[in-house]
Structure 1
Amino acid sequence: MDSTTHKIYHEHGFDSRKHLEDYLSDNPDTAFGDDALIFPMENLTSLFRRGHINGDVLIDLTSGSLVHHLYAACEFFQHIIVLKVSDRCIMELKRWLDSRTGAFNWGHVTKLHADIEGNSDQYEDKEKKVRSAIPHVMKCDLEKENMTDPIDLPPADCIISAGLLDVICKDKDDYRRYLRKFSRMLKPGGHLILIGTLDITYYTVGKDKFHAFTYDEDFARKAVAAEGFVLDSCKVKKRTSVSDLIDYKGMIFVAAHKDPLV
C-alpha cells in the first residue's frame, strides 16, 4: 500500500478497541509490552516521584483510548481532563471509567504500575484512584484555536500527550503548530510530557494501515525548544518488539516546561 493511501487518524477514525487489543493487551502474543507500557510507565513514575510536577489540572491529549500513562499522574493532580478527537475513543474509555461490562481489561497495567512503584499491597485501590481522578472526557477539534470551543478550559499545570502528534501530524510544520497550541493551554512554567515513536511511517489497526509522522530525537528536541519550552529530560529506547503491525525504530520520552518569560 502506497503511503499516500494510508488513512489519517483524526480524519478517518479507527477501531479503538482493536487498537488496544493489538498493542496494549495482556495477550502473550502482544509484542509491545516493553516499549508501549513499561518504558513510559517507568519514566512517568520516576518523573512524578521527584515532586515538582503537580497541581490542579492535567490535560491528557493522547491517541486512542489509552489510560496506562495516567496511572503515575493520578495522585498528583486534582483533576485530569481527557480530550479525544473521536466519539468512538470516548465511548471506549468511558466504558472502562464506568466499570461497564465488556470494558477493556487494564488489570495487567494496574499490577505493572504497582510493581514499578513497589506498592503491590495497593493494587486493589489503584484503578479506583485513576477513575476518580478523571472527571471529564471531552471531544475536541484539533483545528480550532480553542480545541474545546465553546468551553474554555482552565490553564493546565501539565499536559501529557502520548502518541497523538505521531498520528495527526503530516509534516514538521504540523508538529510545531500543535506544540504551539499545547503551549497556549499551559500556565507559565507548566509542564509538557511527550511520549512518541521514532522513525515510524505507518501503523496498522485491523485491516487498515494508517499514516504516521516520521521524525527523530534531534528533531523532537529542537522543535520543543523552538516553541518556547525548556527541555528537562529526554529518554530514548530502541525498539525491542518484533511485529509488522508498525515500523517504528524506537520510543521517546520528553519532559519539558514552558518558559515563563516566553
Structure 2
Amino acid sequence: MGGRVKGDVLIDIGSGPTIYQFLSACEFFKEIVATDYIDQNLEELNKWLKKEPGAFDWCPVVKYVCELEGDREKWTEKKEKLRERVKQFLKCYMIQSQTLDPISFPQADCLLSTYCLELAANLPTFQQSLKNLNGLLKPGGYVVLVTALKGNYYMVGDQRFSLLFLTQEEVEAALEKAGFIKEKSEVILHHYSRANTDNDGVLYFVGRKTK
C-alpha cells in the first residue's frame, strides 16, 4: 500500500472481522475508518482494538507483516499504532447511494476493499456498488481493490457462500464506468484449496478517482 498511496483518511469497505489489511496502511494514513454490513464483524474488530478478553490473537500476522517490511521487532509498536489509527466503525450499505448513511464526513484520500465486492448478487449490483463508493472519495483520491476472479463459492467452516463470477475485464470496466482511472492492475494466479473456494486468481487494482 505504501509509496505514493498515502494521505489523511482511508476508508476500508467490507472490513470483516480482520485487521491484516490495515497493518501496512496504518503507516501511511492518519485515520482509518473500518466499515462492514454485519454488526458481529465490527464488534469483533472493536474487541481487538480495545484489548478485550477473547479477542482474536493477531500477533503472528503482525510479526509476519513487520518481517516483510524489514523489521520484525517493531510488531508491538505497530499494534499500538494501528489501534490509534482506527478511529471509527461504521455500517456500510454498498447498494445504497448513501453508502454510510446517516454518517457524513469529509471525502477520503483512499478507498480500500479486499475480498468484499465480489459478494454482490449480480454484475449490475457490483457495478452500482462501485458507483456508490465513488462519492466517498475525494477527486484524485486512490482506490485499492483486491478481488477474487472467476469464483463461484467460498467456505467458512461448513458454511458455503456464493461469489459473483467476475473476469478481470469486467472488474476493470466497472471501475472505469464508476469514475476510476486505472494506474496499476495485476492478476496473481493464486489458488486456494478447492475445499475452500474455486476462484481462479486474484486481481490487485490501484486507480484514482477522476478529477
Do these two structures clear the TM 0.5 threshold for a shared fold by scoring above it? yes
**Which segments of structure 1 move beyond 3 Å, counting only runs of 4 or more?**
none
Question: How far 1:257 sits from its partner (Å)?
Answer: 0.3
Shift of 1:147: 2.2
Residue equivalent to 1:248: 199
C-alpha displacement at 1:136, in angstroms? 0.8
Match of 2:97 in 1: 145
With over 3 angstroms needed to count, the CA separation of the structure-2 counterparts of 1:226 and 1:122, relative to structure 1, is: same
What SS is found at the alignment partner of 2:193?
coil
Contact 1:204 1:246 (8 Å CA) reproduced: yes
Larger % of helix: which?
Answer: 1
How far apart, in 1, do the equivalents of 2:7 and 2:189 lie?
A: 32
Secondary structure at the aligned position of 1:135 is classed as strand
CA contact (8 A) 1:68 1:109 kept: yes
TM-score in terms of structure 1 length: 0.77
**Residue in 2 aligned with 1:170?**
121
Taking the aligned partners of 1:251 and 1:165, their CA distance within structure 2 comes to 13
Corresponding residue for residue 208 of structure 2:
257
Worse-matched range after superposition: 216-225 or 130-139: 216-225
Q: CA deviation at 1:239?
A: 2.3
Structure 2 residue runs of 5 or longer lacking an equivalent are none
Q: Which runs of 5+ in 1 are unaligned?
A: 1-43
CA-to-partner distance for each residue in 1:200-224, whole Å, 9 max, x for gaps? 1011223321111111112122221
1:226 CA drift (Å): 2.1
**Partner of 1:191: helix, strand, or coil?**
strand
Q: 1:152 to 1:93 in 2, by over 3 A?
A: same
The answer as to whether partners of 2:95 and 2:129 remain within 8 angstroms in 1 is no
Per-residue deviation at 1:85? 0.5
Matched, 1:209 2:156: no
Structure 1 position 227 matched with structure 2 position 178: yes
Residue type at the aligned position of 2:200: K
Partners of 2:56 and 2:144 in 1: CA distance: 25
Equivalenced residues, count: 211
The equivalent of 2:148 in structure 1 is: 197
TM-score (norm 2): 0.94
Distance in 1 between residues matched to 2:35 and 2:18, nearest whole Å: 11
How far does the alpha carbon of each residue in 1:105-159 deviate from its partner, in whole angstroms, 9 at most, with x for none? Answer: 1112111111111022312211111111001111233333212222212101100
Structure 2 CA distance for aligned equivalents of residues 149 and 184 of structure 1: 12
Normalized per residue, the structure richer in strand is 2
Contact in 2 for aligned 1:238/1:250 (Cα 8 Å): yes
TM-superposed deviation, 1:63: 4.8
Which one-letter code corresponds to 1:199 in the other structure? K
Residue 82 in structure 1 maps to residue 40 in structure 2: no
Structure 1: distance between partners of 2:190 and 2:27: 30
Q: Tell me by how many angstroms 1:163 deviates.
A: 1.1
Alignment of 1:128 onto 2:65: no
Counterparts of 2:172 and 2:191, CA distance in 1: 23
> Is the contact made by 1:146 and 1:152 (CA closer than 8 Å) also made in structure 2?
no
One-letter amino acid matched to 2:195: D
- SS of equivalent to 1:74: helix
Indicate conservation of the 8 Å contact 1:63/1:163, yes or no. Answer: no
Q: Which has the bigger relative contact order, CA under 8 A and spacing at least 6?
A: 1
The CA RMSD measured in Å over matched residues stands at: 1.4
Q: Name the CA distance, whole Å, in 2 between partners of 1:240 and 1:130.
A: 30
Residues 211-259 of structure 1, C-alpha deviations (whole Å, 9 max, x = no match): 1111111212222122221111112111243241211111111000011
Q: Secondary structure at the match of 2:86?
A: coil
